[in-house]
Amino acid sequence: MGVATPRLQRPRQYSNNKMARNRKRPRRSESRPPLQPGDSWLRIKNPYPPIAQFSEDELEAIHLTSLNLLRDKGIKVLSVEARERYREAGFDVNEDTLMVQFDPNMLLQTVAQAPPTFTMHGRSENRWFEVGDNNLVFATVGGPPHYSDLENGRRAGTHETFRDLLRMAQNYDVIHLTTPMVEPQDLPTPVRHLHMTRSVVTLTDKPTFIYSRGREAVADSLEILRIAYGIDRQTFEKRVHCYTVVNANSPLQLDELMCAGIIDFAKARQAMILTPFTLAGAMAPVTLPGALAQQNAEALAGIALAQIVRPGAPVVYGGFTSNVDMKTGAPAFGTPEYVKAAFASGQLARRYRLPYRTSNVNASNAPDAQSAYESQMSCWGAIMGGGNILLHGAGWLEGGLTASLEKFVSDFEMLQMFASLMQPVVCNEDTLAASAFDEIEPGGHFFGTQHTLARYETAFYAPLLSDWSNFENWTENGALDTTQRANRIARAALADFTPPPLDQAFLEEIDAFIEQRTKAGGASLSA
């Protein structure tokens, strides 16, 4: 069996008409692409109840430890504006130590203003989805400095490799959000955000990520998005079109850029994911409950700032607690501890009625078996922990330092399989298949029954990457391993890519804006 055509087609509708179901269909040739349920992958609902890592009493103990930490010690806030906002809201601010301390009741009342769900909108009409409740969306890897592929190995990320990964993200409906998939290090830092955002709006129509790397860069990127959407600023702020990630500088510190990101995104009513970077044993206590208590304290402090700036600002509770290798100090991902932390973080997010972000991560240096089983462990933690946004869903290698083209494809397969898993199984008179038994003799088979022939194309998940052929056929077709097949699929997808439409007038306005900002020197990295 040859490698299936990689491109997932636009949502395809299948008739429920009885005649259509019972009509004999020609046997599918091996060159024909598998049919995929693209429609159902645009908006995924997780039907499974989340796993609780801790009892209610244990969860309450973590919650109270977080509140006590914020009340008694507080958070160091490096931003003058953020400290002023906290002070105006009634929290205690010490200008000598830069520490902000939080009254627990006032803090919880502030956090409670955040919406439990919100809707994100892309440029195209069908590119929208709900965040929160039991909704689940997948995003690509975000921010590695390096890129790798089978042909040229690991190297510094470039603008063209970033654009290639954008094309891959656009090509598959199982990816809902785009990210800064690799850092284009061939672009000067002051103008990098301008060209990255232009590439985003010309190569994708999905909601996207914007870095919180200074107020000028944020303003520039939001303006390019607004132009691409063809709407004014007031209309732009009525919907959520993009998001950012704000990381606490763990332990217990919010720096100027992150505070500015919280403030600016809250003002613009765009989404932000508050994610402390808590590695147990390094930037957090070595014990999981202690690390989670710190994560929770840092997340609540950041979420509160967003609600002070704009009550009702869309925020997501971010969980990223993992552990380090105590032999080397290197971060470890996809570990049992990571999964337990993902379960527990989901419990905490639900306690505050907040959407929950988690991640697909691994510590492997190659798109190998280790990367696959650690990624699957991470994804089980995300899905069974009740995650709403899965960041780094495709392409993550080397602890987040490398974006791998082949890992993109293998992760697409895994995400598609999870998406298929979460589709409901219809149980009715038709699917119970009682009539099919009238067509077979005991000891026979169902291959040729009308019931099978009416459904054989769509009955089961059709793989993108997996090769289900026998050894002889696999050998005859080149004996390609998973990485080799993934590379072929990626190259075919890139060669066949068609960008979504963008009004030429909008593009000209974007280019004029970029030219203007470039002549002005671009953006500084100051808050």
Write down the domain spans for the chain.
42-424+463-527
Instruction: Quickly state the pLDDT bin for 329 (edges 50, 70, 90).
Output: confident
Structure tokens at 155: 């190297």
Q: How confident is the model at residue 12, as a pLDDT?
A: 32
Q: Are 408 and 165 in contact (CB under 8 A)?
A: yes
Instruction: Quickly state the pLDDT bin for 13 (edges 50, 70, 90).
Output: very low
Quote the pTM value.
Answer: 0.91
Look at residue 20 and tell me whether its pLDDT is greater than 90. Answer: no
Q: What is the mean pLDDT of the chain?
A: 91
Question: Mutual orientation of helices 405-421 and 482-495 as an angle, nearest 10°?
Answer: 90
Q: How confident is the model at residue 408, as a pLDDT?
A: 97
- Topology (CATH level 3) of domain 42-424+463-527: TIM Barrel (3.20.20)
Q: How confident is the model at residue 39, as a pLDDT?
A: 56
- Quote the CA–CA distance of 517 and 498 in Å, as a whole number: 29
Q: By C-alpha distance, which of 220, 321, 312, 299 is closest to 269?
A: 312
Structure tokens at 243: 């998001």
Three-state DSSP state, 503: coil
Q: How confident is the model at residue 2, as a pLDDT?
A: 38
For residue range 409-441, list pLDDT tens digits in order: 999 999 999 999 999 999 999 999 999 999 999
Instruction: Quickly state the pLDDT bin for 278 (edges 50, 70, 90).
Output: very high
Instruction: Quickly state the pLDDT bin for 506 (edges 50, 70, 90).
Output: very high
Residues in the chain: 527
For residue range 219-234, list pLDDT tens digits in order: 999 999 999 999 999 9
Look at residue 28 and tell me whether its pLDDT is greater than 80. Answer: no
Q: By C-alpha distance, which of 147, 166, 131 is closest to 367?
A: 147
Query: How many degrees, rounded to 5, is the angle at CA 29 between CA 23 and CA 34?
Result: 80
The DSSP code for 232 is: -
> E strands within 266-398?
271-274, 279-280, 315-318, 322-324, 331-332, 356-359, 389-391, 396-397
Q: How confident is the model at residue 40, as a pLDDT?
A: 63
Strand pairing class (128-131; 118-121): antiparallel
Above pLDDT 90, what percent of the chain? 89
Stretch 363-389: mean pLDDT: 97
Look at residue 294 and tell me whether its pLDDT is greater than 60. Answer: yes
- Quote the CA–CA distance of 360 and 393 in Å, as a whole number: 5
Residue type, 138: F
Q: Are 270 and 222 in contact (CB under 8 A)?
A: yes
Q: How confident is the model at residue 496, as a pLDDT?
A: 94
Q: Which helix (H) or strand (E) holds 323?
A: strand 322-324
Q: How confident is the model at residue 401, as a pLDDT?
A: 97
Look at residue 335 and tell me whether its pLDDT is greater than 80. Answer: yes
Look at residue 153 and tell me whether its pLDDT is greater than 70. Answer: yes
Residue type, 503: D
Look at residue 32 and tell me whether its pLDDT is greater than 80. Answer: no
Q: How many helices (H) and strands (E) does the chain have?
A: 19, 21
Q: Which helix (H) or strand (E) holds 133?
A: none
Instruction: Quickly state the pLDDT bin for 38 (edges 50, 70, 90).
Output: very low
- Name every residue whose Cβ is closer than 8 Å to that of residue 488 and which is 6 or more positions away in sequence: 3, 480
Q: Which helix (H) or strand (E) holds 154?
A: strand 153-156
Instruction: Quickly state the pLDDT bin for 350 (edges 50, 70, 90).
Output: very high
Other residues' Cβ atoms within 10 Å of the Cβ of residue 87 = 13
Stretch 278-286: mean pLDDT: 93
